[in-house]
Amino acid sequence: MKKILFFGFFALLIFLGCNKEHPETKNQSVQLPEKTVTSQSKIIKVGKGPDALFLTSDEKFLYVANVEDNFISVINTETENVVGKIEGIKYPWGFSRLGNSDLVAVSGYDKQIVIINFTTHKIVEEKSFNENLGGITSTGDGRFIYVIETGKNKALKLDAASLKILDSYETGNGPDGIGISKDESKIYTTNTKDGTISVINTKTKKSSLLEVGGKPELVHYNHDRSLLFISNFKLNKIHIIDTNTDKIIHEITDLKSPEEAVLSKSEKLLYVVNFSAKKVFVYDASTYQKLDQEYSVGNKPIGVISALNDTKLFVSNYGDNSVTIIQLKNE
């Protein structure tokens, strides 16, 4: 969950403390599972408020969006060290690789989109906007970007080459995450204040709502985008949506304030981050049955991604400005 206001640094910290830290859960007594798999792990420090993660195509480098800072941390996945940072991003929020190119689009909450060449770790394009921005996705060929315009309850369509606004779409109240369908005819936005998910036809602009309740937030998908995995922080669920039918085909329950739900590279496993439990739960990605593996991580974890042929798991810990690196066995 990401919400930032820009009324000076002090106001920023207050706002993040009231929103990102989820006061509705921080004083709750969380009953943790009795069994936790012990695994070799390492914690490394990054910037303030580490959140979304992006893995370069060769899996050698991991980008960490520090949503309370103005830079992205760059981690070497083999040496497990921070090897640099990419500065000039105004509160980096989310990532979307542009097709099969060496470019990744990054949304900065403070009204900014940047394009980074991830082979050089350099910003190659940047544009400022009139409103604060949030979740980001793009088409499979990398030609178009869709991004949340948080304050206006809209999603924008951008030309990826020029970053020019091509179209806009009305969302529900408090949009946060965004996804795209397999055939790219629809986008999906999570509306945190309405407890709904908007399904928007990008040609006709007609939309429908999935009324799920609670607080739907982050959106991830499988390789061909036929399935979306959407976290619902307040209902302790993951909604799994078929983008062909726009139906919820399954829900994973009994979670602890879930944030990201992300498939392994092989798509055999689904990793679910539990914000209030400081744990990552693991599920069979075919049956959605919970497995014995559970990984303890840092404070207020949000992002998760597997790397190096599913031998390592990286988890961003928003609450203590760190990333946990977990050694995995091959699936």
Q: Hey, what domains does the chain have and what are their CATH numbers? A: 31-327 (2.130.10.10)
Q: Is the pLDDT of residue 162 over 90?
A: yes
Q: What is the pLDDT of residues 35-70, one digit of tens each?
A: 444 468 999 999 999 999 999 999 999 999 999 999
Are the CB atoms for 57 and 97 separated by under 8 Å? yes
Q: Is the pLDDT of residue 263 over 50?
A: yes
Q: Is the pLDDT of residue 217 over 70?
A: yes
Q: Chain-wide mean pLDDT for the chain?
A: 90
Q: Is the pLDDT of residue 15 over 80?
A: no
- pLDDT of 329 reads 78
Q: Is the pLDDT of residue 11 over 90?
A: no
Are the CB atoms for 71 and 65 separated by under 8 Å? no
- pLDDT of 241 reads 98
**In the sheet that 186-191 helps form, which strands lie side by side, from edge to edge?**
175-180, 186-191, 196-201, 207-211
Paired tokens of 135: 């979740």
Q: What is the pLDDT of residues 127-139, one digit of tens each?
A: 999 999 999 999 9
Mean pLDDT of 151-166: 97
Are the CB atoms for 296 and 279 separated by under 8 Å? yes
pLDDT class for 229, splitting at 50, 70, 90?
very high
DSSP secondary structure, 205-231, as one string = --EEEEE--S-EEEEEE-TTSSEEEEE
- pLDDT of 227 reads 98
- pLDDT of 40 reads 86
- pLDDT of 14 reads 33
